[in-house]
Amino acid sequence: MTGNVNPKKFLGQHFLIDENISKKIIDSVDFSKYEKVIEVGPGKGALTKYLLKLKDILTLIEIDKESILFLKNEFEDENPEIIEKDFLKFDINLTYPSLSKILIIGNFPYNISSQILFKAIDNYKSVSCLVGMFQKEVAERIVSNNNTKKYGILSVKTQLLYDVKILFNVSPNVFFPKPKVDSAVISMTRKKDINLNCDINLLDKVIKLSFQQRRKKLKNSLKRLDIQENILEDSIFGLRPEQLSVEEFVILTQKISNETI
């Protein structure tokens, strides 16, 4: 399976070599729900071979020239669409301006997995689902609830817009080369009714500032927002960020911007 593609450390490549895990990922998805399927970092095609049945709506985005050559040779008959690009620089809205049911799937490189997640979130109106491989610790942070140590920016930003769950954990033994950490496959499905009722840019700023100083009370960590003193008297500002539920971050933002539902 390792063939003539050398895994590149600087790209965070760990090729999936266990067919059972590949099938398990594919079997977890109902592909009939999507208008477009984007596989990020297909590498040597461990997932691609099972996605080729979706050829009419499938796009592979790969930055590694060696992997692209391999994929073109391996799947010459099927000839899937391959875009040679860094996914983080790929403009989803510009490329698919009218689509609202895009699935992003992949065995994501660990060094950019959080950035892939944030890119999906930034394009949530287009990306209705993401299914992917993450470092287990990152996956646990994504699905964490408030009042836990792992609850943070990843948890809040994702759960505001998506229902998230860990599908299953994955051993290092199913990759080449073996990573030094355990992995997990997560699924995130866009919520049916999203109505944040606040300034999204301000909400983003509130979340980031809150968790930058997670041990401080919100009235201290949010000082940079120049909030009026009378608003700071509200009891919510006496809490620490990990105490707030995802919904309460929206309420907090509404109070700061003096918006009401």
* pLDDT tier at 9, thresholds 50, 70, 90: low
Q: Is the pLDDT of residue 2 over 70?
A: no
CA dihedral sign of residues 62, 133, 135, 250: positive
What per-residue confidence (pLDDT) applies to 229? Answer: 86
Per-residue pLDDT of 210-260, as tens digits, reads 999 999 999 999 989 988 888 888 999 999 999 999 999 999 999 998 744
Interval 52-71 mean pLDDT:
96
pTM of this prediction? 0.93
d(CA 157, CA 207): 8
What per-residue confidence (pLDDT) applies to 140? Answer: 98
Interval 4-20 mean pLDDT:
77
What per-residue confidence (pLDDT) applies to 230? Answer: 86
Length of the chain: 261
CA angle at 42 for the pair 41 and 47, rounded to the nearest 5°? 135
**Which CATH architecture best describes the domain 200-257?**
Orthogonal Bundle (1.10)
Residues 105 and 45: beta-carbon distance below 8 Å: no
Backbone angles phi, psi at 2, to 5 degrees: -75, -30
Per-residue pLDDT of 79-128, as tens digits, reads 999 999 999 999 999 999 999 999 999 999 998 999 999 999 999 999 99
Q: Is the pLDDT of residue 135 over 80?
A: yes
Q: Is the pLDDT of residue 6 over 90?
A: no
Domain residue spans in the chain? Answer: 9-190, 200-257
Q: Is the pLDDT of residue 52 over 60?
A: yes
* pLDDT tier at 10, thresholds 50, 70, 90: low
DSSP assignment of 141-168, as one string?
HHHPPTTSTT-SHHHHHHHHHEEEEEEE
pLDDT mean across residues, the chain: 93
Strand partners of residue 163 = 189
What per-residue confidence (pLDDT) applies to 131? Answer: 98
Interval 127-153 mean pLDDT:
98
**CATH superfamily to which 9-190 belongs:** Vaccinia Virus protein VP39 (3.40.50.150)
How many C-beta atoms surround the C-beta of residue 14 within 10 A? Answer: 23
CA dihedral sign of residues 101, 106, 109, 111: positive
* Domain 200-257 in the same topology as domain 9-190: no
Per-residue pLDDT of 199-210, as tens digits, reads 999 999 999 999
Helix (H, G, I), strand (E, B) or coil at 19: helix
